[in-house]
Structure 1
């Protein structure tokens, strides 16, 4: 987007950047990577990231949207509702209605970019709500069309079907997944970048059946059982945490865990 000088990112763990680690142990993610690209073009560019892991749509609307309405950035990215969809008995149409009302409010002050959910068919937990994700995505496309929001369609990114685009917890994206999403968002926003999100990942040998089952058991112990325990206790991964970039600021230099610049 030519002339963009400020951007506030709101949402949940997807936009916070789990599991894309920086060298200091903090999370980077697609949004920080894309923000670095904007900052490279305009040193005065300001960026805030209010997203927090585990947040439901209503919490994002109540806690994050009002802050955007106060500062009136040039752009707001809004991705939310995924955590709501996995709650048993949740109503996808109601979630979409609430999302749309928030988009209406945000469009009064800023340009808005929204994201569909990726296709979860290879993810052992989330694939159980694949139908709800597909319906929600249809709503999101219609909402973007009705209100003039830009849309980043993650479902339409075949590269995200590769398990290497996902972290070990099988719920959040890997650094490579975040990088591809940042490239896709840059394309939607009209930001020139050197790489193409469509480039295939290198070939990999198939994993033997026994090793896959071992990995499934390890994942169940390490990720699934703790997640189920939190759900039963009504706890969130974000309880007690605060946004990593709560105010609009210019960006200092930053590197990822492997020492590479955290940019697209």
Structure 2
């Protein structure tokens, strides 16, 4: 693998790093963790993260892709379209067409592009209703990656992410350990030596803990799912008024959660 001396991350909450908490309102996330790995190998490495929670693919294409083109990094990661796919009435084919156009623009800059499929979310209540749409979108992503010479992280195939401990309390965003495992997987597909094995299974879960989690389904729906649905019905986003956390290419200092 040729040296990667600069990296720009594009996307939504997944790439912003929710819910891999640092202090205050700051999040780390898989992209920051990957950048730390790259920085440890390349003196002078620089990193920007333009991802903002709640962004739809049209917003990512119009707001973030032009910034990435201007920054002209060696590596761009792009995970987009998930928020669109989860919306009622959305068309995976139309979302994929926007992703395809964005990838072509990024590849035209000479950047290596890292793409991601969607998660297998059938184990999450309500989300399983859009399971088939995610599957269709993933087929498009595989095709886009192959046609454009992109590197692909297949999140759907990461069985370890089906464990509830890979997810945070809201069941919509990864836990810190989920982000850690994806950073390891992304490093692996980029050809970097693995410091740890992302496949390492979680220890067996105490049946009492699992039973308690099932009793918490109603509380989860009330605290997280209903507000999420209401925002979409009202045309609002959790990212309204939120700016990218790393808008310019800059050196990386390792954050410790």
* TM-score bracket for this pair, using the shorter chain length: over 0.9
Structure 2 contact 36–253 (Cα < 8 Å) conserved:
no
Question: In 1, Cα distance between the equivalents of 2:142 and 2:20?
Answer: 27
Counterpart in the other structure of 2:75: 75
Counterpart in the other structure of 1:34: 34
Q: Deviations over 1:81-139 (max 9, x none)?
A: 00000111111101111110110010011110100011101111321100000110011
Question: In 1, Cα distance between the equivalents of 2:194 and 2:63?
Answer: 33
Question: In 1, Cα distance between the equivalents of 2:157 and 2:214?
Answer: 29
Question: In 2, Cα distance between the equivalents of 1:139 and 1:103?
Answer: 12
Question: In 2, Cα distance between the equivalents of 1:51 and 1:255?
Answer: 20
Runs of 5+ unmatched residues, structure 1: 257-264
Question: In 1, Cα distance between the equivalents of 2:128 and 2:10?
Answer: 25
Counterpart in the other structure of 1:183: 184
Question: In 2, Cα distance between the equivalents of 1:182 and 1:253?
Answer: 14
Runs of 5+ unmatched residues, structure 2: none
Q: Secondary structure at the match of 1:40?
A: helix
TM-score, structure 2 normalization: 0.96
Counting matched residue pairs gives: 256
1:145-160 to 2 correspondences below 5 Å: 145-160=146-161
Counterpart in the other structure of 1:107: 107
- Structure 1 vs Structure 2 CA RMSD: 1.3
TM-score, structure 1 normalization: 0.94
Q: Deviations over 1:186-242 (max 9, x none)?
A: 000011122011111111112467633431121112101211221121100000010
Question: In 1, Cα distance between the equivalents of 2:7 and 2:163?
Answer: 30
After TM superposition, give the deviation of residue 25 of structure 1 in Å: 3.9
More displaced stretch, 1-10 vs 59-68: 1-10
After TM superposition, give the deviation of residue 68 of structure 1 in Å: 0.8
Q: Secondary structure at the match of 2:76?
A: strand
Structure 1 contact 9–15 (Cα < 8 Å) conserved:
yes
Q: Deviations over 1:30-81 (max 9, x none)?
A: 0001101111112310000000000000000000000011111001000000
Counterpart in the other structure of 2:125: 124
